[in-house]
A = this chain, B = another copy of it.
Amino acid sequence: MRFTFPLMAIGLEVVMIVLFALFVQYDTGSNSSKANSTESPAIDVETSMDLYPHFQDVHVMVFAGFGFLMTFLRKYGFSSVGFNLLIAALGLQWGTFIQGIFHSHGQKFQIEIKSMINADFSTVAVLISFGAVLGKTSPIQMLIMTIIEITIFAANEYLVFEVFSASDIGESMTIHAFGAYFGLAVAGILYRSKLKEGHPNEESVYHSDLFAMIGSLFLWIFWPSFNSAISDNEKTQYRAIVNTYFSLAASVVTAYACSSLLESRGKLNMVHIQNASLAGGVAVGTCADMEISPYYAMIIGSIAGVVSVLGFKFLTPLFATKLRIHDTCGVHNLHGLPGVIGGLASIIIMALEKSDPVKMASQAAALGSSIATALAGGLITGAILKIPIWAQPSDEDCYDDSVYWEVPRRTEYDNRFHDLLDFTPLEREA
Contact = CB atoms under 8 A, between A and B. Distances in A.
Given A6-B266, A93-B246, A294 B20 contact: yes
A294 B111 contact: yes
A245 interface: yes
Contacts of A254: 9-10, 13
A68 interface: yes
Contact of A273 (B25, B82, B261): B82
A246 B253 CA distance: 38
A237 interface: yes
A101 to B, nearest CB: 15
A246 B250 CA distance: 37
Instruction: Say how many copies of this protein the assembly contains.
Output: 3
A121 interface: no
A257 to B, nearest CB: 4
A63 B221 contact: yes
A299 interface: yes
Nearest to A11: B257
Main secondary structure of the interface of A (DSSP, over half): helix
A9 B411 contact: no
Interface string A1-30: 111011101101100111011001110011
Contacts of A222: 56
Interface stretch (A126-134, A338-346, A382-390, A413-421): A413-421
Given A206-B408, A268-B82, A238 B5 contact: no
Interface string A221-261: 11001000000001101110110011011101110111011
B85 A206 contact: no
Contacts of A261: 3, 6
Contacts of A273: 82, 85
A59 interface: yes
A206 B217 CA distance: 22
Interface size class of A (residues with CB under 8 A): 35 or more
A356 interface: no
B210 A71 contact: yes
Contacts of A43: 238
A239 B26 contact: yes
Contacts of A93: 246, 249-250, 253, 298
B270 A17 contact: no
A242 B111 CA distance: 8
Contact of A17 (B90, B242, B268, B298): B298
Nearest to A236: B45
B421 A408 contact: no
A405 B263 CA distance: 10
16 contacts: A3-B266, A7-B257, A13-B298, A20-B295, A25-B293, A26-B294, A46-B234, A49-B238, A56-B57, A56-B221, A82-B273, A86-B252, A96-B246, A111-B242, A268-B405, A421-B423
Interface of A: 1-3, 5-7, 9-10, 12-13, 16-18, 20-21, 24-26, 29-30, 43, 45-46, 48-49, 52-53, 56-57, 59-60, 63-64, 67-68, 71, 77-78, 81-82, 85-86, 89-90, 92-93, 96, 111, 113, 116, 139, 203-207, 209-211, 213-214, 217-218, 220-222, 225, 234-235, 237-239, 241-242, 245-246, 248-250, 252-254, 256-258, 260-261, 263, 265-270, 273, 277, 291, 293-295, 298-299, 302, 404-411, 413-414, 417, 419-428, 430
Given A67-B217, A92-B249, 14 more contacts: A5-B256, A5-B266, A9-B257, A12-B253, A13-B302, A17-B302, A53-B53, A56-B57, A82-B273, A205-B408, A210-B211, A409-B426, A410-B425, A413-B419
